[in-house]
């Protein structure tokens, strides 16, 4: 072998760069042809994929604006299930509720892994994954169960967390009141209010809006880097600022570590204050020491912030966008609030059952502006049959939640904001299986209950106190397009919050 390598080296050193490049291109082309001719694999139709870059050139051309709508015309050409390649990675895109149900529910046993082999995730969570979002198999099930039961023990479903959300909604109202009806951007203060709820769950503390904890800007920066299809490819190694990302992650861990140390010093097993206390308890009891590692718990804390802050905050940001554009809807919600709650107290979850129009409006925000349009990437842990195609182990599967929520077969006039679509003739709320902004199956959003509680209490309290208007001389914000990065967020806008 060394002789062959030496021979090749000697040969290439005599022929010059163009010949070497032609040889490498030929080699890559042959490997590509061989790999795509695997007789055991039957990929669904999809756009032409090139060696190394896959469909990235077409994605870049059609996705100039990077909207969730960019890929919709592809389904018209290739069908509801598509095979695309992000660089070297095979990706299956599922564009209907039935296909997502077939993959994430019926075939959950083999389509619930996460693609932790991709370069970016391997670097950040390790090839075996960690935490909840990026863990697979038995350990994921155990950590997910632990996180859900922690949320429950800390008050999700009981009054205490609901009360903390009510308190936070009051702080938010006070903060907005300081603007005295003048134009302002609601973006950051909504983000701070929502992240305070996660801070209360994890660290047992909320932060003043002027006194942002060091962790939040670090998390925000980490979220902004590494988006888009490049994130999935090995090219990320060269194109993403990996050193910067790793430095941010190290910073994050050292901040969490400091918090865990502080908790250890005042830990009392009879008074569990927050998620960190629960973790200390579990590690002291030495339950499954392989699973309850410090690394997994660090990652769960990061997961809760990553998955639980920008998502709910963006839902609230979108809700203001839609209400400013539809003053008639805003007025109807306020009438309902006045009838059921009045001005003397803050909204509570019990009120929801008596406020169908408000509930319908929130459901319509979830449908119209899903904050995670492609959900989170799933991966096959075994060869799986989907819609008659044989999908090999190690394929990334994306459920196109946006397409389901904007399919005219599921929802008439899908690009119109129509809360009435969620009410029957008696004014009662209609439920639909097709409303899947939180995805479906065993990987369904772990914070769905919390997100629904926050959305209802924050939304209702804001409208109880203010009427939101487009500032004079400014254009109403876009209700369909927005920034589509790790989450889907409206373009920056200002509001005037007029005290009611
Ligand atoms: C409007 C708000 C939210 C939306 C629309 C949303 C949506 C989603 C979606 C689509 C997924 C991917 C599911 C899949 O892989 O198929 C997900 C996963 C997840 N969400 Fe949420 N989410 C929201 C709020 C929250 C909150 C408040 C939390 C915090 C507790 C949270 C925690 C998680 C976690 C931990 C996962 C990963 C679950 C797993 O891999 O087992 N989410 N969410």
Reported as a single tens digit per residue, the pLDDT across 44-85 is 999 998 888 898 888 877 766 789 998 899 999 999 999 999
Sheet holding 81-86, edge to edge: 81-86, 89-94, 396-399, 378-379
Poorest-pLDDT segment among 34-48, 114-128, 201-215: 34-48
Rounded to whole angstroms, the Cα distance separating 46 from 84 reads: 6
How many angstroms is it from 494 CA to the middle of ligand 1?
28
Ligand 1 lined by 375 (C-beta under 6 Å):
yes
Q: In the predicted model, is pLDDT for residue 37 greater than 60?
A: no
Q: In the predicted model, is pLDDT for residue 271 greater than 80?
A: yes
Q: In the predicted model, is pLDDT for residue 197 greater than 90?
A: yes
Domains, the chain: 38-499 (1.10.630.10)
For 350-384, give the DSSP string.
GGGGG-HHHHHHHHHHHHHS-SSTT-S-EE-SS-E
User: Is 200:53 a contact under the CB 8 Å cutoff?
Assistant: no
Q: In the predicted model, is pLDDT for residue 33 greater than 60?
A: no
**How much of the chain is helix, strand and coil, in % rounded to 5?**
50, 10, 40
Q: In the predicted model, is pLDDT for residue 36 greater than 60?
A: no
Atom of ligand 1 nearest to the CA of 455: 1
Indicate the top mutation candidate among 445, 446, 451 to test ligand 1's pocket, ranked by most ligand atoms within 8 A of CB: 445
Closest CA to 204 of 271, 147, 116: 271
Atom of ligand 1 nearest to the CA of 131: 35
Closest CA to 164 of 464, 453, 446: 453
pLDDT value, residue 1: 47
User: Is 55:61 a contact under the CB 8 Å cutoff?
Assistant: no
Q: What percent of the chain has pLDDT over 90?
A: 65
Q: What stretches of 380-499 adopt beta strand conformation (E)?
A: 384-386, 389-391, 396-399, 466-469, 482-484, 488-490, 495-499
The residue contributing the CA closest to ligand 1 atom 15 is: 376
Q: In the predicted model, is pLDDT for residue 42 greater than 60?
A: yes
pTM: 0.91
The residue assigned the tokens 């206390």 is 277
ipTM of this complex > 0.90? yes
Express each pLDDT in 375-412 by its tens digit. Answer: 999 999 999 999 999 999 999 999 999 999 999 999 99
Pair of tokens at residue 267: 């830990």
Poorest-pLDDT segment among 120-129, 365-374, 410-419: 120-129
How many angstroms is it from 451 CA to the middle of ligand 1?
9
pLDDT value, residue 13: 62
User: Is 239:230 a contact under the CB 8 Å cutoff?
Assistant: yes
Indicate the top mutation candidate among 68, 142, 307, 450 to test ligand 1's pocket, ranked by most ligand atoms within 8 A of CB: 307
How far from chain centre, in Å, is Cα 16?
A: 49
User: Is 71:382 a contact under the CB 8 Å cutoff?
Assistant: no
55 is in an annotated binding site: no
Rounded to whole angstroms, the Cα distance separating 252 from 214 reads: 9
Ligand 1 lined by 372 (C-beta under 6 Å):
yes
Q: What are the CA-CA distances from residue 42 to residues 103, 114, 389 (Å)?
A: 16, 22, 5
pLDDT value, residue 273: 87
């Amino acid at each position: 072998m060394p002789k062959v390598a030496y021979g090749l080296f000697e040969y290439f050193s005599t022929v010059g760069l163009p010949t070497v490049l032609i040889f490498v291109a030929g080699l890559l082309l042959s490997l590509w042809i061989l790999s795509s001719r695997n007789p055991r694999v039957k990929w669904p139709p999809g756009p032409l994929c090139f060696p190394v870059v896959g469909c990235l050139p077409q994605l870049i051309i059609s996705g100039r604006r990077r909207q969730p709508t960019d890929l919709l015309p592809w389904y018209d050409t290739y069908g509801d299930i598509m095979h695309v390649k992000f660089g070297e990675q095979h990706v299956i895109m599922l564009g209907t509720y039935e296909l997502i149900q077939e993959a994430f529910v019926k075939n959950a046993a083999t389509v619930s892994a996460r693609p932790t082999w991709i370069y970016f995730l391997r670097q950040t969570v390790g090839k075996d994954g960690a935490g909840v979002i990026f863990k697979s198999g038995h350990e994921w099930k155990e950590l997910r169960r632990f996180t859900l039961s922690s949320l429950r023990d800390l008050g999700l479903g009981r009054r205490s967390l609901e009360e903390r959300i009510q308190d936070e909604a009051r702080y938010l109202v006070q903060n907005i009141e300081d603007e005295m009806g003048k134009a302002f951007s609601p973006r950051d203060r909504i983000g701070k209010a929502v992240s305070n709820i996660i801070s209360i769950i994890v660290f047992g503390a909320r932060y003043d809006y002027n006194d942002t904890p060091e962790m939040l800007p670090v998390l925000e920066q980490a979220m902004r880097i590494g988006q888009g299809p490049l994130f999935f490819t090995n090219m990320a190694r060269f194109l993403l600022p990996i050193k910067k990302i790793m430095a941010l992650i190290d910073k994050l861990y050292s901040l969490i570590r400091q918090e865990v140390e502080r908790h250890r010093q005042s830990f009392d097993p009879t008074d569990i204050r927050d998620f960190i206390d629960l973790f200390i308890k579990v590690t002291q009891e030495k339950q499954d020491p392989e699973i309850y590692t410090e690394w997994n718990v660090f990652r769960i804390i990061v997961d809760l912030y990553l998955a639980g802050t920008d998502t709910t905050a963006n839902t609230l940001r979108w809700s203001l966008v839609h209400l400013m554009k539809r003053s008639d809807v805003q007025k109807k919600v306020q009438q309902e609030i006045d009838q059921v709650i009045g001005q003397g107290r803050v909204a509570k979850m019990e009120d929801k059952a008596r406020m169908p129009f408000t509930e319908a409006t929130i459901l319509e925000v979830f449908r119209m502006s899903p904050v995670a349009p492609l959900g989170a990437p799933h991966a096959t842990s075994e060869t799986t049959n989907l819609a008659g195609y044989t999908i090999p182990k190690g394929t990334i599967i994306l459920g196109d939640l946006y397409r389901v929520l904007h399919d005219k077969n599921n929802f008439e006039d899908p690009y119109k904001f129509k809360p009435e679509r969620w009410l029957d003739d008696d004014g009662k709320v209609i439920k639909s299986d097709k409303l899947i902004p939180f995805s479906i199956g065993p990987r369904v959003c772990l914070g769905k209950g919390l997100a629904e509680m926050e959305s209802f209490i924050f939304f209702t309290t804001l409208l109880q106190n203010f009427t939101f208007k487009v500032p004079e001389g400014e254009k109403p914000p876009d209700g369909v397009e927005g920034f589509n990065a790790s989450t889907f967020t409206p373009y920056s806008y200002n509001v005037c919050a007029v005290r009611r």
